[in-house]
Amino acid sequence: MHMLSDDLGHLSYDVAGDGPPVVLIHAGVADHCMWDAVVPALAEQHTVIRYDLRGFGESAPPTGPFSESDDLRRLLDHLGHDRVRLVGASWGGRVAVDFTLAHPARVHSLAILAAPWPRYDWSADMIAYDEAETAALGAGDLDAAVSINLDMWLRGPSRSWADVADGLADQLRGPLRTSLVNQDLVGEHSAGPGTGDLAAIAVPALVGVGKLDVADFQDIARRYVAAIPGATLVEFPTAAHLIALDAPAEVCSVLGQFLAR
């Protein structure tokens, strides 16, 4: 991993392959490693850039106000890329959307996989999950909070752990733990999601959703498709919320075709 360090903070990043640049932005319960299984195929045709959002993975937590869009702009400036293809998972998908709205000339195309919708009216199941995580963290039980998040975001509501590929929970546990340790600092200092008009997005857009994800995100995916002009919906039948972990081959196939546009 490489490190971008300046007066505004420290961002850890990795670059692989050669060709038109693609930036992969991880989910809010993961780090750059969630893309490990898709990078080799994408790197055959593209320069693949992964980085850890601030407070995730190897990137330092914030010490003052910051914007995820500004961090991504700093990274692209550092690497010398004027225009990129963006792929974001979950919270990383919202970062990609906000960057596209803030810097439209710098985005060639946009793919979001299970991105959240700001100020969404969450279901009772999602509220119960949030309350359970809050209670576990309030009691100082980080292990319980990690398990609650693994159940929600990796296993999902529609399957048992026997249906989840071996090793994925162990792969995610460390990055998830880091995200939980830093989430209060990130939440306190982050500018949060933007409020731009999705109808202004004028680049090719793909919206992905796992058929085994919570119903809220299946609804949200359709909202994005309706709001972003010309957006295409792709459903992944064997995936829950973390699509790139559950269905890497399918993600590579879909992205390979989409990124070639």
How confident is the chain (261 residues) per 10-residue block, as mean pLDDT? 79 97 98 98 98 96 94 96 98 98 97 96 97 98 98 97 97 98 96 91 98 98 98 98 98 97 86
Residue 246 in tokens: 């559950």
Q: At what angle do helices 91-102 and 68-79 cross, to 10 degrees?
A: 70
- pTM for this model (two decimals): 0.97
What pLDDT score was predicted for residue 8? 65
Q: Which residues of 102-137 are buried (b: 16+ CB within 10 A; e: fewer)?
A: bbeebbbbbbbbbbbbeeeeeeeebeebeebbeebb
What pLDDT score was predicted for residue 7? 66
Give dist(CA 23, CA 88) in Å, integer.
8
What pLDDT score was predicted for residue 130? 97
C-alpha distances in angstroms, 82 versus 22, 34, 258?
12, 25, 20
Give dist(CA 39, CA 34) in Å, integer.
10
What pLDDT score was predicted for residue 107? 98
